[in-house]
Amino acid sequence: MISRDDYDSPWKDILGRYFEAFMRFFFSDIAEEINWEKGYSFADKELRQISREAETGKRLADRLFRVWKKNGEETWVMIHVEIQAHREKDFPRRVYVYNYRIHDLYNRPAVSLAVLADDNEKWYDTVYFYSLWRCLIVFRFPAAKILDYKSRQEELGKSENPFAVVVTAHLQTMETKGDDSSRLNRKIKLTKNLYRRGFLKQDILNLYRFIDWIMALPEELEETYHREITEFEEERRMRYITTAERIGMKKGEMIGIEKGIEKGIKQGIEQGIEQGIKQGIEKGIEKGIEKGIEKGIEKGIEKGIEKGIEKGRKETAKNMLEMGLDIKLICKATELSEKEVRNIGKNHDGKRECDT
């Protein structure tokens, strides 16, 4: 099986083409609050600025859109599509960082949404929290898990939403990992169903590109796939995807890779210079401060910390209980045992106050 690690490009492309369909498929309740008649716009320039400022490392298929609520207010929607074969601990933090950077740089209200497209059934992190003494940050964001649709593929096959095809293709790509023959058969069947389900010509072309990219096959089996689809089109007298278009797609893919490498090198140089300057300043400040630190200060702080840590943990646990957070999450944040947390809840029941 050949490997295409870049799931980023097909997801970004399909998100850009079918944003409304995406919202109605994964987040229908939020979609109902958006004034789609007013349209939406891409905020790619702003996203690039946020990405540079956030410095969160790896990003996959992040998109930023401007939409308008039905009451006329402008709102930004940040979409994260995360494709990992394992749990990524920093993902909730990355979602949080992007959200507050939108507020920080542009002073805009924003909602962060995530699609977890990984193959780990146990990974479903949708909360970022940070606590220190009585300071507490809790950030929750809605997320959809593609594996949740695994048992619903028959239902997906009847849906008119393009993202039903996208999710099916992604699931079947994961299911056929290491099995070229099975992937070929499923890819052919999925593509033929685009015609049978009555999608318009442009939708068929768009979804064909997604399927062809994500369900990668060795070259000889790719030829078998395209030959099968060509014969199927001729039988139905629906030549939507010509040989010339397929060649053009392949050439376009290669040109895109070359341009992507060139752009990546340029951005890498810019970020390297920026980071180098930043690190140089930080080290200079650090050395200057170092000379002014006395050991006596450390000893004084040390004694206060020992007494304050325990009190701070219990205070944080109390605040989180008042917020209705899960006890296991509270234990993780405060490093207290479940028994200690439950005792705190009993002691403060009926006397809860909300810190602001």
- Sequence ranges of the domains in the chain: 1-166, 176-241, 303-347
**What per-residue string of b and e applies to 191-220 under the rule 16 or more CB within 10 Å gives b?**
beebbebebeeebbebbbbbbbbbbbbeee
> What is the predicted pLDDT for the residue at 346?
79
Q: Cα–Cα distance between 150 and 141 in angstroms, integer?
A: 23
Q: Cα–Cα distance between 56 and 273 in angstroms, integer?
A: 17
Q: Cα–Cα distance between 330 and 348 in angstroms, integer?
A: 15
How is the beta sheet containing 110-116 ordered, strand by strand? 41-42, 63-68, 74-82, 110-116, 143-145
> What is the predicted pLDDT for the residue at 303?
58
Nearest of 82, 87, 86 to residue 58 by alpha carbon: 82
Q: Cα–Cα distance between 179 and 170 in angstroms, integer?
A: 15
Per this entry, what is the length of the chain? 356
> What is the predicted pLDDT for the residue at 85?
43
> What is the predicted pLDDT for the residue at 323?
80
Nearest of 223, 159, 163, 219 to residue 188 by alpha carbon: 223
110-116 and 74-82 strand pairing: parallel
Segment 153-157 shows an average pLDDT of 90
**What per-residue string of b and e applies to 7-39 under the rule 16 or more CB within 10 Å gives b?**
bebbbbebbebbbebbbbbbbeebbeebeeeee
Mean pLDDT check: name the lowest of 42-51, 68-77, 199-208, 294-303: 294-303
Q: Cα–Cα distance between 312 and 48 in angstroms, integer?
A: 38
74-82 and 63-68 strand pairing: antiparallel
Q: Cα–Cα distance between 237 and 350 in angstroms, integer?
A: 73
Contact 83, 97 (CB under 8 A): no
Segment 146-173 shows an average pLDDT of 93
| Side chain identity at residue 28, one-letter code | S
Contact 343, 337 (CB under 8 A): no
- Looking up tokens 């995530």 gives 114
Q: Cα–Cα distance between 52 and 32 in angstroms, integer?
A: 32
Contact 205, 234 (CB under 8 A): no
Quickly state the pLDDT bin for 78 (edges 50, 70, 90).
Answer: confident
Q: Cα–Cα distance between 164 and 251 in angstroms, integer?
A: 28
Quickly state the pLDDT bin for 185 (edges 50, 70, 90).
Answer: very high
